Amino acid sequence: MKNTKILGFRREDNSFGLRNKVIIIPSVHCANKCVENIAKLNPDSVYITHQHGCSQLDYDAKQTQMVLAGHGTNPNVYGVLVIGLGCEVISADNLAKNIKENTPYKEVHHLIIQEEGGVLNTTKKGDAIVKQMLLNAQKQTQSFGDWSDIVLGTECGGSDAFSGLSANPALGAVSDFIIEHGGSVILAETTELIGAEHLLAKRAINEEIKNKVYSTINNFEQLVLNSHADIRGANPSPGNIAGGLSSIEEKSLGCIYKAGSKPLVDVKEYAHKITQKGLTLMNTPGNDIEQLSGMVAGGCNLCIFTTGRGTPTGSPITPTIKVSSNTKTFLNMQDCIDINAGDILDGKKTMEEKKEEILEFVIKLSQGDLTKAEINKQNDFSIWRLATTC
């Protein structure tokens, strides 16, 4: 398995895409419908919609711009069309410029509804642009990469009492394998590390990283306390509790298994680019889609998502493999879940065998197989909001 070649798209900056998507991005929520209209005319394209881009305070606007631009620069993307209205805080031309400056080899276009004379004109022009980009994308030559090209985002959602016994440790074994072979792994979900921060801090490569672990998790916990809110009910969620998790500490002890056992080499803020080989902690909320969007913006080209209760979630550009912690959920949600780690609990597979099964699935994805989320055209996208609309 270690010498297996992975098929994909080598970009000019040496990043590696498992996919070659053309994505349509609204710079502001006012452009969502126009984006949807263009995407409907081009079913081979992908798109996102969101509720941001205007009336945001500067630091929230900066975060929105970073997440949107990160989806354009992700190695799984061939080309980008940005649609704006024309009077928003995050302008289409600036967003497109940002994407182009960071990935100058990509096709990047933008249209502004007010300048094009309305939605119909913008849709017509955007349709022509996307159709041409799709034709150009088909001309891209695939090449072989290896496990060192993987930037793996790890995620758990709808966790249950079995998550820390089967799916999360299996993902941890995959994480260790990726790192051993020169790749990068992201551990996120800061709220779901509360109570287990000391275990992660012990793995930090130096005092600076260790202190960042504590400050990142403590600051998030303090943010909740300052709001005079009770984290219980939000995390663990009602589904987590129904699935047998009693506290955030118990959930955290299961969550951390996803990161395997390798040293922690870096700590990044939400949606910031992953720059180190090895294990990186990204500061994200526990919310599945906000976390997934942040990791993808940071350069994640593959996500493995463990679940006890089941979820359909998937990124529009990054293949998202769903692994169930138990066989009941796998059988109940077969249209959403790719791999059953309940085999481990059932005594049918060892942890090592499940790791190999997941890695084999990744290889098949690189050769053209689709995840259930891709088949279902899940284009889930959400941005972690920091403040009020003004």
The stretch 318-342 carries a mean pLDDT of: 97
Least confident piece of the model among 9-13, 218-222, 283-287: 218-222
pTM of the predicted model as reported, rounded to 2 decimal places: 0.94
Cβ atoms within 10 Å of 202's Cβ, excluding its own: 11
For residue 238, give its domain range: 145-375
Q: What is the pLDDT of residues 237-259, one digit of tens each?
A: 676 666 666 666 666 667 888 99
User: Based on the domain organization, do 79 and 50 belong to the same domain?
Assistant: yes
66 and 121 in a single domain? The answer is yes
pLDDT at 1: 66
**Residue 172 phi, psi dihedral angles, 5° rounding:** -60, -40
- Residues 324, 176 within the same domain: yes
Tell me how many degrees the CA angle 210-212-213 measures, rounded to the nearest 5: 65
How long is the chain?
390
The answer to whether residues 214 and 341 belong to one domain is: yes
Q: Are 109 and 81 in contact (CB under 8 A)?
A: yes
Q: pLDDT band for position 223 (50/70/90)? A: confident
Give yes or no: residues 40 and 178 share one domain.
Answer: no
Could you read off the pLDDT of 258-297 as tens digits, one per residue?
999 999 999 999 999 999 999 999 999 989 999 999 999 9
Q: Which of 74, 109, 138 is the last residue of a domain?
A: 138
Whether residue 317 lies inside any domain: the answer is: yes
CA distances from 275 to 76, 170, 265, 282, 302 (A): 17, 25, 10, 12, 16
Q: What is the mean pLDDT of residues 22-40?
A: 98
> Does residue 390 belong to any structural domain of this protein?
no
- Whether residue 171 is found in the same domain as residue 82: no
Per-residue pLDDT for 338 more than 80?
yes
User: Is residue 7, in this structure, part of any structural domain at all?
Assistant: no
Residue 4 is assigned to a structural domain of this protein: no
> What is the C-alpha separation between 233 and 236, in angstroms, rounded?
6
- Of 97, 117, 138, which marks where a domain is finished? 138
Of 103, 138, 173, the residue that ends a domain is: 138
The verdict on 119 and 153 lying in the same domain is no
pLDDT of residue 227: 75
CATH number at residue 95: 3.40.50.2300
Contacts of 327 (CB under 8 A, 6+ apart): 340, 342, 343, 345, 346
The tally of domains found in the chain comes to 2
384 domain residue, yes or no: no
Instruction: Give the three-class secondary structure for 129.
Output: helix
* Residues 228, 163 share a domain: yes
Q: Given pLDDT bands bounded at 50, 70 and 90, which one contains residue 389?
A: confident
DSSP-based three-state secondary structure for 1: coil
Residue spans of alpha helices (H) in 90-232: 92-102, 113-116, 119-138, 167-180, 197-201, 207-226
Q: Are 96 and 109 in contact (CB under 8 A)?
A: yes
Residue 14 within a domain: no
Is residue 211 domain-shared with residue 118, that is, in the same domain? no
Q: Indicate whether 31 and 174 sit together in one domain.
A: no
Residues 54 and 186 in one domain: no
277 token code pair: 């080989």
- Rounded distance between C-alpha atoms, residue 26 and residue 52, angstroms: 9
Same-domain status, 102 and 194: no
Query: Is the pLDDT confidence value at 4 over 70?
Result: yes
Q: Is residue 388 part of a domain?
A: no
- Is residue 8 in a domain? no
Q: Worst-scoring range by mean pLDDT, 66-75, 78-87, 248-257, 336-345?
A: 248-257
